[in-house]
Amino acid sequence: MHAPTGLDPKAAAALTRRITLLSVATAGVLVVIKGGVWLISGSVALLASAADSGLDLIASLVTFYAVRYAQAPPDAEHRFGHGKAEAFASLTQAGLVFASAALIGQEAIVH
């Protein structure tokens, strides 16, 4: 978040927004491709992979909105700015990873 990138804060913020947009686009393309191939092939492995990419897409969207919210200037309700939104996004991602790990563990035990 505060790594010495050599960029001024405005350029760094713009770069962060662009990267999160790329992340959403990449995950979206993967969901569409994997979902499409699953529909054609009926492969369960591809369905699982598409579901995994779907979770990535949700995580990417959370990050996409979080970095934009975090970059908003301080206002009456948030006098210290909106930077904490990034911590919330990280927590959400950790939750998603934990949820998928739990699901995989449950599936492994059931089978």
| Interface with Zn ion (CB under 5 A) | 75, 77-78
Q: How far is the CB of 68 from Zn ion (least distance, A)?
A: 12
Q: How far is the CB of 73 from Zn ion (least distance, A)?
A: 9
| Residue 17 · residue 71 · CB < 8 Å | yes
Nearest to residue 32, comparing CAs of 53, 16, 10?
A: 53
Q: Which is nearer to Zn ion, 72 or 99 (CB)?
A: 72
Q: Which is nearer to Zn ion, 8 or 77 (CB)?
A: 77
User: Which segments of 1-111 does DSSP mark as H helices, in order?
Assistant: 9-41, 44-70, 84-110
Return d(Cα 4, Cα 64) in angstroms, integer: 22
Return the residue nearest Zn ion (CB atom): 78
Q: Which is nearer to Zn ion, 8 or 75 (CB)?
A: 75
Q: How far is the CB of 83 from Zn ion (least distance, A)?
A: 11
Return d(Cα 83, Cα 2) in angstroms, integer: 12
